[in-house]
Structure 1
Amino acid sequence: MRIYELGDGTPEVSVVGSIHGDEPCGARAIERFVAEDPDVERPVKLIVANEEALAADERYLDEDLNRAFPGDPNAESHERRLAHDLGREVRGTTAFSLHSTQSYAEPFAIVDTVDAISRSILPRLPVDVAVETNHFAEGRLIEHAHTIEVEAGLQKSDEAADNAYWLIRAFLTATNVLPAPAVASDGSSELDEESESQTEDDRLKLAIPEENSIDVFRLLERLPKPPADQYEVHATNFEPVAAGETFARADAEQFVADRDFYPILLSAYGYADIFGYAGDKVGTLP
Structure 2
Amino acid sequence: MRIYELGEGTPEVAVVGAVHGDEPCGPRAIERFLADDPDVERPVKLVVANEEALDAGVRYLDEDLNRAFPGDPNADTHEGRLAHDLVRELRGKTVLSLHSTQSYAEPFALVDGIDAVTRAICPHLPMEYVVETGQFAVGRLIDHAHTIEVECGLQRSDEAATNAYWIVRAFLAATGVLPAPIEGDVEPPLSLHRRDETEVTVFRLLDQIPKDPAEDYRVFVDNFQRVAPGDPVAAADGEAYNAENEFYPVLLSAHGYEDVFGYAADRIGTLA
Short-chain TM bin: over 0.9
1:1-286 matches, within 5 Å, as: 1-183=1-183, 189=184, 191=185, 202=188, 212-286=198-272
Could you tell me which amino acid in structure 1 is paired with residue 227 of structure 2?
Answer: V
Q: Is the 8 A contact 2:152 2:164 kept in 1?
A: yes
Could you give the per-residue CA deviations for residues 18-46 of structure 1, whole angstroms, max 9, x where no partner exists?
10000000000001101111000000000
Identity %: 67
Report if aligned partners of 2:106, 2:152 keep a CA contact under 8 Å in 1.
yes
In the alignment of these two chains, the number of paired residues is 270
Q: How many angstroms does 1:146 deviate by?
A: 2.2
Q: For the structure 1 residues 202 and 214, does the alpha-carbon distance in structure 2 shift closer, same or farther, using more than 3 Å as the test?
A: closer
- Partners of 1:233 and 1:162 in 2: CA distance: 27
CA deviation after TM superposition for structure 1 residue 144, in Å:
2.4
| Distance in 1 separating the partners of 2:193 and 2:163 | 15
SS at match of 1:41: coil
Q: Is the 8 A contact 1:12 1:43 kept in 2?
A: yes
Counterpart Cα distance in 1 of 2:190 and 2:127: 15
Normalising by structure 1, what TM-score? 0.91
Determine helix, strand or coil for the equivalent of 1:136: helix
The separation in 1 between residues aligned to 2:143 and 2:57, in whole angstroms, is 26
Give distance in 2, aligned partners of 1:128 and 1:181: 19
- TM-score normalized with structure 2 length: 0.96
Q: Secondary structure at the match of 1:135?
A: helix
Is the partner of 1:279 in helix, strand or coil?
strand
Long gaps (5+) in structure 1? 184-188, 196-200
Deviations 1:170-193 (A, max 9, x none): 00000000001223xxxxx2x4xx
* Structure 2 letter corresponding to 1:218: R
Rate the CA distance shift 1:245–1:21 in 2: closer, same or farther, 3 A.
same
Q: Structure 2: where are the runs of 5+ without partners?
A: none
Question: SS of 2:97's equivalent?
Answer: strand
**Matched residues in 1 for 2:5 and 2:267: separation?**
38
Q: Please give the root-mean-square deviation of Cα atoms over the aligned residues, in Å.
A: 1.7
What per-residue deviation string (whole Å, max 9, x for no partner) do you get for residues 101-123 of structure 1?
A: 00000000000001001110000
Q: Distance in 2 between matches of 1:6 and 1:66?
A: 26
Runs of 4+ in 1 over 2 A off after TM superposition: 201-208
Aligned equivalents of 1:3, 1:54: Cα separation in 2 = 15
Q: Which amino acid aligns with 1:65?
A: L
Q: Matched residues in 2 for 1:202 and 1:102: separation?
A: 23
